[in-house]
Amino acid sequence: MSGPLLTVENLAKHYPLGAGFLKKPFAVVRAVEDVSFSVDAGETLCIVGESGCGKSTVARLLMRLVDPTAGRVLIDGTDIAGLRNHELRAWRRRMQMVFQDPYSSLNPRLTAGQIITEPIENFERLSSKQRNALAADLLQKVGMAPEMMHRLPSELSGGQRQRLGIARALSLKPSLIIADEPVSALDVSVQAQILNLLLDLQQEMGIAFVFISHDLGVVEHIAHRVAVMYLGRIVELAPCDALFAKPVHPYTEALIAAAPVPDPMRIRLEVPLQGEVPSPINPPSGCAFHPRCPIAVDRCRIEVPPLVPMPDGRFVACHVRAPGTGIQSQVDTIANSSITVA
Ligand SMILES: Nc1ncnc2c1ncn2[C@@H]1O[C@H](COP(=O)(O)OP(=O)(O)OP(=O)(O)O)[C@@H](O)[C@H]1O
């Protein structure tokens, strides 16, 4: 099948607060607003941004754990909202999730072997021999000894529990794994092991990942493309190398400037990201980043900038730095200056 594996079109999720029977909401949280992207088979798209920018809500929308307020999610071109029950079950086999906290996402009363085979047993009956063989095979795939299948989650380390979560996700041979901060609860050395495991599995099985993280070091290590979110919207979507070599959106630039730099050869901008992320209940008018943006112009306070393609293939939502704004001369000056986020 040609075309993207996953397509997300104009996705939005608004949470009404205080709504109930005969009660009107007193406020609405605009968690996700007009988000569009696609993911090809075997590709890793990372979604990054500060806490509260809507990354996990996007993950929940992709898994249909929550319904969208607007927009569509398509798998191989088919809108998952229109699927009948049996089609939805087939689709669920293809998309699995790995969670941030490997402890709370695993049933503490089941053994590792039962946890791994649970998803497949929702679809087919297994004999105990088949169950053990499958559990042993998947444990080996994630670098664990088959004997571990008899252990409870409480008898495993954090890294082993996350490997178990990955083994469970693999049991249905998915085409796509949504991983929501899968390494942020782990020690740095264990993080590297889990990331390398995911990269190996991707090579071996051709799995695509939507990988959610606030850690730019992790993102740079594993992403093919990166979507940068700010207050519910994508502000820049670019190939990983291009994004880190030359961020275009002032928010991306400030985010990279604020991150620790593992590469001493890379020049670090002097100016970290300052100020608080505004509330998604009452977001700023126009571009939501304008109150923190050093290059904002009047138009930024009024109009929401659309995500537009740049000549190098990336997409950027910025009145100043996106093309066709009529203020390109300003852009050239600004592009050569360092950023000060006030
Ligand atoms: N069920 C809900 N009801 C009301 N508001 C919600 C709900 N779930 C999320 N939100 C709000 O939506 C916004 C986005 O939340 P989300 O968890 O998607 O952000 P995030 O980028 O994943 O943050 P973090 O990195 O801290 O996990 C936040 O302001 C959050 O408080």
Q: Which residues of 201-236 are buried (b: 16+ CB within 10 A; e: fewer)?
A: bbeeeebbbbbbbbbbebbbbbbbbbbbbbbbbbbb
- Is residue 53 lining ligand 1, measured as CB closer than 6 Å? yes
| pLDDT classification of 22: cutoffs 50, 70, 90 | low
- Is residue 62 lining ligand 1, measured as CB closer than 6 Å? no
> What pLDDT is recorded for position 330?
42
- Is residue 64 lining ligand 1, measured as CB closer than 6 Å? no
- Is residue 55 lining ligand 1, measured as CB closer than 6 Å? yes
> What pLDDT is recorded for position 332?
42
Q: What is the pLDDT of residues 118-136, one digit of tens each?
A: 988 888 888 989 999 999 9
What values do phi and psi take at 17, rounded to 5? -100, 135
CB 71 within 8 A of CB 35: yes
- Is residue 185 lining ligand 1, measured as CB closer than 6 Å? no
Amino acid at the residue 340: T
Query: Which one, of 101, 133, 105, 102, lies nearest residue 117 by Cα?
Result: 133
Q: What counts of helices (H) and strands (E) characterise the chain?
A: 11, 12
Question: Which of 55, 65, 277, 282 to mutate to test ligand 1, by most ligand atoms within 8 A of the CB atom?
Answer: 55
- Is residue 286 lining ligand 1, measured as CB closer than 6 Å? no
- Measure the CA–CA gap between 48 and 229, rounded to whole angstroms: 6
- Is residue 51 lining ligand 1, measured as CB closer than 6 Å? yes
Structure tokens given for 263 = 């590469």
Q: What is the pLDDT of residues 58-81, one digit of tens each?
A: 999 998 889 999 999 998 888 888
Question: Scanning the structure block, which residue is given the tokens 């093309």?
Answer: 323
| Structure ipTM | 0.97
Q: For residue 66, give the ligand 1 atom closest to its CA.
A: 1
Question: If residue 309 lies in a helix (H) or strand (E), which one and from where to where?
Answer: strand 308-309
CB 89 within 8 A of CB 267: no
Question: Which of 11, 13, 15, 183 to mutate to test ligand 1, by most ligand atoms within 8 A of the CB atom?
Answer: 15
Neighbours of 47 (CB within 10 A): 27
| pLDDT classification of 339: cutoffs 50, 70, 90 | very low
> What pLDDT is recorded for position 261?
58
**Does 140 have pLDDT greater than 80?**
yes
* CA 172 to chain centroid: 21
* Model pTM score: 0.88
- Measure the CA–CA gap between 47 and 37, rounded to whole angstroms: 10
Torsion angle defined by CA atoms of residues 288, 293, 296 and 298, in that order, rounded to the nearest 10 degrees: 50
Q: For residue 59, give the ligand 1 atom closest to its CA.
A: 18
- Is residue 100 lining ligand 1, measured as CB closer than 6 Å? no
Query: In angstroms, what is the span from residue 57 Cα to ligand 1's centroid?
Result: 6
Query: In angstroms, what is the span from residue 247 Cα to ligand 1's centroid?
Result: 26
> What pLDDT is recorded for position 342?
32
What values do phi and psi take at 230, rounded to 5? -140, 120
> What pLDDT is recorded for position 328?
43
- Measure the CA–CA gap between 127 and 122, rounded to whole angstroms: 14
Query: In angstroms, what is the span from residue 27 Cα to ligand 1's centroid?
Result: 15
> What pLDDT is recorded for position 111?
95
Q: At what angle do helices 112-121 and 128-141 cross, to 10 degrees?
A: 110
Question: Which of 32, 47, 53, 231 to mutate to test ligand 1, by most ligand atoms within 8 A of the CB atom?
Answer: 53
**Does 170 have pLDDT greater than 50?**
yes
Q: What is the mean pLDDT of residues 208-226?
A: 94
Q: What is the pLDDT of residues 238-256, one digit of tens each?
A: 999 999 999 999 999 999 9
- Is residue 227 lining ligand 1, measured as CB closer than 6 Å? no
Query: Which one, of 215, 156, 205, lies nearest residue 182 by Cα?
Result: 215
Signed CA dihedral, 89, 90, 91, 97: sign only? positive
> What pLDDT is recorded for position 61?
94
Q: Where are the alpha helices (DSSP H) in the chain?
A: 55-62, 85-94, 112-121, 128-141, 158-170, 188-205, 216-222, 240-245, 250-258, 298-302, 328-335
Query: In angstroms, what is the span from residue 58 Cα to ligand 1's centroid?
Result: 10
Q: What is the pLDDT of residues 311-324, one digit of tens each?
A: 998 999 999 998 65
Domains of the chain: 6-223 (3.40.50.300), 228-335 (no CATH)
Neighbours of 65 (CB within 10 A): 12
Structure tokens given for 330 = 């300003």
- Is residue 153 lining ligand 1, measured as CB closer than 6 Å? no
Q: What is the mean pLDDT of residues 28-46?
A: 96
